[in-house]
Structure formats: structure tokens, C-alpha cells
Amino acid sequence: MKRTLLISTALSAVLAQGAFAADLPTKKGPPPVPVYAPFSWTGFYIGANVGGLWSSDGVTDLDPFYYGEIPGNSNTLNPSGVVGGLQAGYNYQIQQFVLGVEGDVDWSSASGKFSFPGAPAIATHSTSLPFFADLRGRAGYAFDRFLPYLTGGVVFANVKNNLADPDYGFSFGRGGESTGWTVGAGLEYAIDNHWSVKGEYLYMQFPDVTKTWDYNYSFKFKDSAQVARVGLNYRF
């Protein structure tokens, strides 16, 4: 009986001590709060794009007294078409500012043609822009995964703006390969750490070209284009 009483007393003391210890303050504190790592745009990327192109291609007769076959002495074609291509670039982020460089290569279906009434043959003004490539700088301000940006640089294009008159026996124009400048703006959104989508607008301007035929017929060719496209990029 005494042994049972002693065991019960000892057990009660141990339990009481454990309960008292549980009420003592602990040094562990609350669990740590997870630290949010901000998204970074720094790195290389490649991607593809698709959209539309609208060009303005004009020809002006600088000597209407000699030639005079173009009504009003000038004509402008405004062809449009689908564009698609590939791009690659690199971004570097400094706090929220993002600086980068991007190059792309695109193909276009834009082309147009107009024939002037005449006798015995018909003069024809035709144009197309089947290919262009550009190299641009980019500057943006990141709102985490959203990146609005401005862009600008040099553009290389195959611009075929041509005037042909079989009656007078000439056919000439810009000649195809042209180098100009481009500016634009866009918005890119990072879906995750690797994939992003973007929408972009570019304006392209090419230098005027003047061509003169044997009989001092001179013509000025003016060309510009606008591009609106969407793209998908993979970031490394």
C-alpha cells in the first residue's frame, strides 16, 4: 500500500513539472515568413512573332513637263500583308529598369500594283516588301512580370518600289535592298520564369531615292512601313 502511494505521488510530481515547463516562455519564436524573390528579366531569349504590315510607297514625277504620264505627278500605294519571323535578344535589369538589345528577321506578304492608262502601252507602279530585319535597343520599366518598353534602331529591308513604262522603254525604282531606321513600343508579360508573351508596334522609314532616265525623266521614290505583331519568347 505504501509502495503504491509513493509511486502515485512521484508520477503526479513528474506530470506537474511537465505542465509547468510547458507554460514557460520559449526562445524559438514564430516560424519565419517566406521571403518573396522579385522576378528578374536579366538573360538571353529567343522567340517567334506574327502580325501585320502596312506600307506607304510613293513615286513622284520631278519633271512633269517632260514625262507627264502620272496623273497629278505622283502616286502612292498602300499595300498590307501578314508578317512572321524570329527574334532573339538579351535583357539586363537594374532595379526596375530593364535595358536590352534585340534583333529579328521577318517575312511579309505585302505587295501592291497600279497601272496608269496610256497609249500604246500602260505605265505600272508596283511595290512589295517581302523581307526585313532589324537590330534595336530596348529600354523598359518593369512592374514585376509586366515590362512596358520603348525600342529603336536600324532596319534592313528588301523594298521593291518600281515604275515601269514599256512605251518609253524604262523600268527602275528603289532597287530592293534598303537601310533605314525604326522606332516603336511594346509590352511584354512573363508567364513564368522561362516563357513570356509580347505585343509590339514598329514604324520604319527609308531614305528617299531619286532615279533619272536617259531623257532626264527624274522620279523620287518614298517608302515607309508600320508593323503590329505579337510574339512568344523563351528565356534562358
What is the set of domains in the chain, with CATH numbers? 43-235 (2.40.160.20)
Q: What's the confidence (pLDDT) of residue 69? A: 82
CB within 8 A of 202, min separation 6: which ones?
134, 151, 182, 183, 184, 226, 227
Q: What's the confidence (pLDDT) of residue 31? A: 67
SS3 12: helix
Q: What's the confidence (pLDDT) of residue 214? A: 74
Q: What's the confidence (pLDDT) of residue 185? A: 98
Q: What's the confidence (pLDDT) of residue 6? A: 43
Supply the Cα-derived Rg of the chain in whole angstroms: 35
∠ CA 61-77-49 to the nearest 5 degrees?
140
In the predicted model, residues of the chain with pLDDT beneath 70 are 1-36, 118-121
CB contact burial 211-230 (16+ within 10 A = b; e otherwise)? bebeeebebebbbebebebe
